[in-house]
Structure 1
Amino acid sequence: MARRPDPDRPTRSTARLSREAIVDTGIAVADREGLDAVSMRRLGAELDANPMSLYHHVGDKDGLLGAMVETVVARIAPDWPGPGDPERWTQELRSLILAARGVMVAHPWAVDVIQQHPATGSVLVHIERLLAILRGAGCDVDLAHHALHLLGSRMLGFSQDPFTVPAGGGASPEQVVLYRSWAETLPHVVELATAAAHDGGLGGCDDEEEFGFALDVLLDGLERRRLADAART
């Protein structure tokens, strides 16, 4: 009589299972199909392993997602040499933030995970780099603190916009009808909603132009504040 397989017995693939392999597979699945496709059962199938064995390496689903985003954020400018010329600090900060954006656009699901997890590990390392540039340029601790609040989610390469506009080429026919009903009472809102539509890598109105514009305005303002603070001392 054939012996029945033991579901708790490691398969040959399970014996070689590692935290890194699980996390990398989770990232690959999320990149291809989105975050909803990531589950222990799905990763077990991808790795030819018992799904229960994954818990020994990454904990629960929340632990898996945290490990995935840690790995992704660590890919932001991995060879960053440290602060350079203080006179070029805004360019350095811009470059590092745009590097973060490149990673977020490549892994758009990471935005949702970052918003749900506390800043730890590689996220804190990234923030430390930004602070090193700010402090190296002569920004005092108070201004550096204000700068992080001012940049907000942009320091990690994405923007949390409370307003949304149609993406992908303008308003739908239904939206046009709705906007026309607003024409007399909200003329400027209607004008903007029908004219300003962007489809970026991280959603509507989060395209490269809008992100870069906002970042430049913020950095220009920080430099003016830094110069004003220096003049008072």
Structure 2
Amino acid sequence: MRSSTGAARRAPLNRERVLRSAVALADAEGIDELSMRRLAQELGVVPMALYKHVAHKEELLDGMVDVVVGEIERPDEDDWKPAVRERILAARRALLRHPWARRVLETRTAPTPTVLAHTDAMIAALRRGGLSVDLTHHVMHALGSRVLGFSQELFVDDHAAAPDPATRAALLQRLGETYPHVAEIARRAAHDEPSTLGPGCDDQFEFEFSLDLLLDGVERLHRNRWTPGQAAPGR
């Protein structure tokens, strides 16, 4: 169990201290261990003292999201494409520092002011680059959760343990009997554990690869002065 110093326990309680302590607790022990009672214990106060600063657990989680998103560095770049790329990778670095944050972000039903400010800055970078409102709208849809530093993948159980080599080989054999092309990709893909994209995939490479494909496509549409109803180049 983590312990606080006497000086920290005597520090005045305010919203910022509550939120940053909650983030530190989640970093150290995991989001499932976070409760108002556990946080109060960490801060050396009674649970009711927390409710003067956060009304309930959901507000606490919203505030924790704001702390994490607030850590995202602003790129020192004027050109829209590298600026957007660096801001997204900065968001990814922030989420990697706080592994629980992705799960919490996925449960939020409305964006917090800090998330809205981050999103607004992303849109502003695209608009400063001359992209039309329509194209920017579609770009934000295409980027999806990557704007906040992660990508939602299909058919992935983040909590599943990777099978041993013999079991994996047997699974691929059975998979290949019905889905040969899926099995072919699974066998040929380079793997470096650990991963959230499947057992052993290189998350960072796959994230940047997909991001660059998207941004290259956006750049091509922008060069061709794309408008709604116009087919994308190559179609």
What TM-score do the two structures reach when normalised by structure 1?
A: 0.82
Match of 1:107 among 82, 98, 107: 98
Match of 1:66 among 47, 62, 65: 62
Match of 2:23 among 17, 27, 32: 27
- Residue 169 and residue 18 in structure 1: after superposition, are their counterparts in 2 closer, same or farther (change >3 A)? closer
Report the CA distance between 1:223 and its aligned residue: 0.5
Where does structure 1 lack aligned partners over 5 or more consecutive residues? 1-11
Q: What CA deviation, in whole Å up to 9, does each residue of 1:16-49 have, x standing for no partner? A: 2211111111100111121101111111111111
Partners of 1:230 and 1:143 lie apart in 2 by 7
Where does structure 2 lack aligned partners over 5 or more consecutive residues? 1-7, 228-235
Partners of 1:220 and 1:202 lie apart in 2 by 25
Q: How many residues are matched?
A: 215
Find the counterpart in structure 2 of residue 7 from structure 1.
none
Find the counterpart in structure 2 of residue 5 from structure 1.
none
Report the CA distance between 1:57 and its aligned residue: 1.0
Report the CA distance between 1:168 and its aligned residue: 11
Percent of counterpart pairs with the same letter?
42
Q: What CA deviation, in whole Å up to 9, does each residue of 1:169-203 have, x standing for no partner? A: 97433343232223322222223334434545756
Find the counterpart in structure 2 of residue 145 from structure 1.
137
- Residue 18 and residue 65 in structure 1: after superposition, are their counterparts in 2 closer, same or farther (change >3 A)? same
Matched residue of 2:112: which SS?
coil
Find the counterpart in structure 2 of residue 128 from structure 1.
120
Matched residue of 1:143: which SS?
helix
Find the counterpart in structure 2 of residue 218 from structure 1.
214
Q: Which residue identity is paired with 1:99?
A: A
- Residue 151 and residue 107 in structure 1: after superposition, are their counterparts in 2 closer, same or farther (change >3 A)? same
Q: What CA deviation, in whole Å up to 9, does each residue of 1:194-221 have, x standing for no partner? A: 4434545756446110011001000000
Partners of 1:201 and 1:100 lie apart in 2 by 18
Q: Which residue identity is paired with 1:132?
A: A
* Contact preservation (8 Å) 2:26, 2:34: yes
- Residue 141 and residue 151 in structure 1: after superposition, are their counterparts in 2 closer, same or farther (change >3 A)? same
- Residue 230 and residue 183 in structure 1: after superposition, are their counterparts in 2 closer, same or farther (change >3 A)? closer
* Contact preservation (8 Å) 2:15, 2:54: yes
What TM-score do the two structures reach when normalised by structure 2?
A: 0.81
Computing the radius of gyration from Cα coordinates, the structure with the larger value is: 1
Larger displacement relative to structure 2 (203-212 or 30-39)? 203-212
Find the counterpart in structure 1 of residue 12 from structure 2.
16
Partners of 1:230 and 1:213 lie apart in 2 by 23
